[in-house]
Amino acid sequence: MDIEFHLLETITNKFADKVGSGGYGEVYKGLYNGKEIAVKRLHPLQGLDDKAFDSEFRNLSKVKHKNVVQLLGYCYQIVKKFVPYNGELVMAMEMERILCFEYMEGGSLDKHIGDESCGLDWQSCYQIIKGTCDGLNHLHGAHEKPIFHLDLKPSNILLDKNSRTAKIADLGLSRLVASTETHKTQMANVKGTIGYMPPEYIDGGYISKKYDVFSLGVIILKIMTGNKGHSRCYEMPQEQFTKHVIENWEARLQGTSGYSSHQNDILQVKKCIEIAVECVEKARYKRPLIKDIVHQLEELEAKIKEMSLYSDMPIDLTGQTSSNYNILAVDPAIELRFLFEPRKDISTCMQLTNQTDGSVAFRVITNQAKYSVQPTKGIMAPCSKRYIYVTLRAQDAAPLNMQCNDMFVVQSTRVNDGRTSDGIADDEVMAGTAVGMVRLPIVYVGCDQVLG
């Protein structure tokens, strides 16, 4: 809509309720036809301001996506005003450039990120990460000509009132480009936000899709580690940093949800930090495309859904299965990995720890046609450890893209008579009043992945 300036003055109470600000203007809340809207009023400057207004208007007018803020209207109008000049009032011409958007009650993401962590719960963080990725993927790939944002940062990610839905905003620096190739800009025109601009842009003015991917990586790092904590990514070896972040989130998530949910959360944490580290690679050719990132997240969600479906299978015999009843600690806790080689048996080991002061019975469930497990069941003494040896039987070839949909399940329950003998039947193992369950996805990796 083309909205008259005097109407915008009215619905914003003469621009009294400011809700945000940036390098190009201020944002106010208005009430239009009974609905709250955000009114972005650009600073009254000539030249570059016109380019920012024109770029944001033209690009946003092309975009319709749930994770990109929706443009509702605009005002581009010359207003005549009397202003004091040399002791007299003179008539002056002032240009008003205003964009109107849907109003996001949750404000911007940067308000939730502290020095060492994000104040939101993990599922909110994950939905924000996924939503931002989906929105950026739409900008890069849904139109005939890609839209490069070029100023992605937490203050340009807006949230709904529940802080779950994220929308990309502020396309003032964005560019609609004729191809996906790399472009070079004049260094005198280099603009953006320090910390979110990739090295190739700072050093040489080069612009490509990988510019926004680098910015996205910094955003994810800050969501997961805070404004100051994200710098450790550049100070620590990649594997050490990834492990550090996962351990911090494991500690934070402990006791906040059922074990099954906690396990899914950690899988998401692991995938998101791996993506973030790849996104901030100095060499842009090493960074993934946003469409590949979205694909990785979709694959992860499919795996978690499959795990959930698998957990509903009637694999318990007589006991009541409880996903948050965790009496055995399992290491590794995230996934069971096999270094795959064709036509060879590949073995790995896992450790069970009885965390209680009583005896615990356990049994292991997996695809017995493909995997050999020793032992498959037993009783563990209080506060004891037990090693489980798992062998992948020789396979002629790995599945396509090394994708494996197998699961490894450990069930456990207390044994009230204090026995430590392993001479037990399957139904006896599961005869307790509550049954704990740990489910691990089985993952194949190739030698090149390990060496890389």
Write out pLDDT tens, residues 5-28. Answer: 889 999 999 998 888 776 667 889
The answer, yes or no, to whether residue 283 has pLDDT greater than 70, is: yes
385-437: per-residue pLDDT in tens? 999 999 999 988 877 667 777 888 888 888 865 555 555 555 555 555 456 78
Q: What is the largest CA-CA distance in the chain?
A: 103
Q: What's the rounded mean pLDDT across residues 196-208?
A: 90
pLDDT value for 272 = 95
Q: What's the rounded mean pLDDT across residues 337-346?
A: 88
Q: What's the rounded mean pLDDT across residues 217-243?
A: 89
The answer, yes or no, to whether residue 341 has pLDDT greater than 60, is: yes
Across 3-38, b (16+ Cβ under 10 Å) vs e yields bebeebbebbeebeeebbebebbebbbbebeeeebb
pLDDT value for 324 = 41
- Report the candidate in 219, 56, 73 with the shortest Cα–Cα distance to residue 147: 56
Strand order in the sheet with 371-374: 328-331, 346-354, 385-392, 371-374
Query: Is pLDDT larger for residue 303 or for residue 56?
Result: 303
Using alpha carbons only, what angle is made at residue 272 by residues 268 and 275, rounded to the nearest 5 degrees? 145
pLDDT value for 316 = 36
pLDDT value for 322 = 40
pLDDT level of residue 48 (50, 70, 90 thresholds):
very low
Q: What's the rounded mean pLDDT across residues 224-237?
A: 86
Q: What's the rounded mean pLDDT across residues 360-379?
A: 89
pLDDT value for 22 = 67
104-159: per-residue pLDDT in tens? 999 999 999 988 888 899 999 999 999 999 999 999 987 778 888 889 999 999 99
* Residues 6+ away with beta carbon under 8 Å from 119: 112, 113
The answer, yes or no, to whether residue 448 has pLDDT greater than 60, is: no
- Report the candidate in 293, 246, 341, 338 with the shortest Cα–Cα distance to residue 129: 293
Q: What's the rounded mean pLDDT across residues 322-336?
A: 72
In order, the DSSP letters of 31-47 are EETTEEEEEEEE-S-ST
pLDDT value for 404 = 79
Question: Catalytic positions, please?
Answer: 151
Tell me if the pTM is above 0.85. no
Cβ atoms within 10 Å of 380's Cβ, excluding its own: 23
pLDDT value for 326 = 61
The answer to the question of whether 51 is labelled as a binding residue is no
CB 96 within 8 A of CB 5: yes
pLDDT level of residue 307 (50, 70, 90 thresholds):
low
pLDDT value for 223 = 96
pLDDT value for 221 = 95
pLDDT value for 406 = 85
pLDDT value for 216 = 97
User: Which domains, ranges and CATH numbers included, belong to the chain?
Assistant: 5-102 (3.30.200.20), 109-305 (1.10.510.10), 313-451 (2.60.40.10)
Question: What would the two tokens of residue 355 be?
Answer: 């965390």
% of the chain residues with pLDDT over 90: 31
pLDDT value for 188 = 42
The answer, yes or no, to whether residue 90 has pLDDT greater than 90, is: no
- Report the candidate in 439, 429, 440 with the shortest Cα–Cα distance to residue 316: 429
pLDDT value for 420 = 52
pLDDT level of residue 49 (50, 70, 90 thresholds):
low
pLDDT value for 320 = 37
pLDDT value for 313 = 42
pLDDT value for 39 = 92
The answer, yes or no, to whether residue 319 has pLDDT greater than 50, is: no
Q: What's the rounded mean pLDDT across residues 184-190?
A: 52
Look over the chain and give the mean of its residue pLDDT values, rounded to a whole number: 82
Q: What's the rounded mean pLDDT across residues 91-97?
A: 81
